[in-house]
Amino acid sequence: MDQRQELGKEGEALACNYLIRKGYSIRHTNWHFGHKELDIVAQKDDMLVVCEVKTRFGDHWEDPKDAVTRRKQRNIVEAADAYVREFDLNLEVQFDVISIIFRGKSHELEHIPDAFFPTL
């Protein structure tokens, strides 16, 4: 596993722990629909929450949340639709972004609920 993959896994673990502390239950991590992936699928009450996790070292380049492009959003929405169908869920779906920036041994986590909405 390369350094970028390790960073991503560490960021996803931090995001899961954060969500659990906030009262979410984690349904799946790294769920695949073909080549598309949902980083974290969580649930809180009657809401299915699909979280895209973006992790970086420092903020020298782009803010991690800015990496969730329109194309990436379309892929997430398509995979989320497949997830809902596969598990026959009757829940509202919310799309969140969790941005994690590591600075030395510490990190900064930003959770953006309803970061984007599916387009028709």
Extract the tokens encoding 79. Answer: 């995979």
Each of the 120 residues of the chain gets a pLDDT tens digit; together they read 677 778 789 899 999 999 999 999 999 999 999 999 999 999 999 999 999 999 887 755 666 677 889 999 999 999 999 999 999 999 999 999 999 988 888 889 999 999 999 875
Extract the tokens encoding 60. Answer: 């020298």
Sheet with strand 36-44: strands edge to edge: 25-33, 36-44, 47-57, 92-103, 106-116
Q: Which CATH number fits the domain that encloses residue 65?
A: 3.40.1350.10
Instruction: Please tell me the pTM assigned to this model.
Output: 0.91
Query: How many beta carbons lie within 10 A of that of residue 40, not counting itself?
Result: 22
Range(s) of the domain holding residue 106:
3-116
Number of domain units in the chain: 1
